[in-house]
Every structure is written in C-alpha cells, then in structure tokens.
Amino acid sequence: MAEDLRIAVGQDSPIEDTVVKVFRCSKVVKGGRRFSFSAMVAVGDRKGTVGIGYGKAREVPKAVEKAVKDAKKQLKKVSMNGQTIPHQITGKFGATKIIMLPASPGTGVIAGSSARAVLELAGVQDVLTKIYGSTATKNVVRATMDGLLRLRSPQAISELRSVEVEAVKRW
C-alpha cells in the first residue's frame, strides 16, 4: 500500500496542501529576541488519502516546506462511504477527544478549522464533529487523523467476522 501512495505523489499529482497553523516561538538573547517558527500542514487528494506534517525552521516558508515534505511521507488511506464516513468514530490524542458522525448529503463539514482542514483534504464532505478536552491545534489534528485511520468499511468488517453484508440505504 505504501508504494501506491509514493507513486501518487509525483510531479503531476493531485495532492493539495493546507497550512493548518503557524506557531511562533521566541528566545530572548543579548541583542533582543530571536524568533523561530513551526508549521502544522495537512495534505491530501480529496479522494480518501490524507497526511499531516510538522516542520520547524527560522523562517515561515522553510517551516511550511519541511512540514509539507513530512506530511507527504505520512500519507494514509481513509475508509469512506460516498462523501461521508462509514460509521461514528472517536479519535483520541493526548487530552483531546473528537467524535465524528456520518451526516446526510448536503450537511457539509461541521467542524472547527483544525479538524476541517484534515477532513476536507481526506475527501469527507458531510460530517458532524464535536471536540472534548483540549482544543490545541496539534492535538486536534492528530486526534482527527487517529479517528480517520480507525474507520473500517462494511466489507472489511464482514471479512473479519465472516458474515454476509446486505446493502442498506441510509438516506
């Protein structure tokens, strides 16, 4: 599976990236303040492949460039059900817990900016979310990825349990 994703990241790939947030850090030195920057970036093809990356540098463009490079290394496939997620899932990271619920067509992505960036680049168009605990950007992005990676398709569950799945029309 990893080879398929590496091939997709070529020169003419449809991989898009979004800067979720840029963080500024300062250090007081003899001559004043010295600033450094870090960037959290999400990349995806809006068709079920998404990754997140984090990069640090003395200038913002270099931090973003490093984060995009890191995110492209960490691309993962996400299980989808049309334009929404197949079932309710809870993603956790640190003190953050995000609950994602499948929604009917036309609902849109009801989420905060950090979770929205990851969900939209994954290709999810209809989903409801609620965050409990810490709302720190880094934690929310990682919790969202945790939830998306733990999604399973009905076919995968039927193979695990060796049971036939009948098609159920929800909406």
- Provide the CATH topology of domain 79-161: Ribosomal Protein S5; domain 2 (3.30.230)
Task: Give span(s): CATH 3.30.230.10, the chain.
Answer: 79-161
Q: Give the pLDDT score at 163.
A: 84
Residue 2 has what pLDDT?
Answer: 46
Q: What is the pLDDT of residue 169?
A: 62
pLDDT (tens place) for every residue of the chain, 171 residues total = 444 454 445 555 689 999 999 999 999 999 999 999 999 999 999 999 999 999 999 999 999 999 999 999 999 999 998 899 999 999 999 999 999 999 999 999 999 999 999 999 999 999 999 999 999 999 999 999 999 999 998 888 888 888 887 766 655
Q: Got the DSSP string for 53-82?
A: EEEEESSHHHHHHHHHHHHHHT-EE---BT
Q: Would you state the pLDDT for residue 164?
A: 83
What is the domain class of 2-76 according to CATH?
Answer: alpha beta
pLDDT of residue 104: 93
CA distance 137 to 40: 8
Q: What are phi and psi of 27, to 5 degrees?
A: -125, 130
Q: How high is the pLDDT of residue 128?
A: 96
- Give the pLDDT score at 155: 83
Say what the alpha-carbon torsion angle 90, 94, 96, 97 is, to the nearest 10 degrees.
20
Instruction: State the span(s) of the chain assigned CATH 3.30.160.20.
Output: 2-76
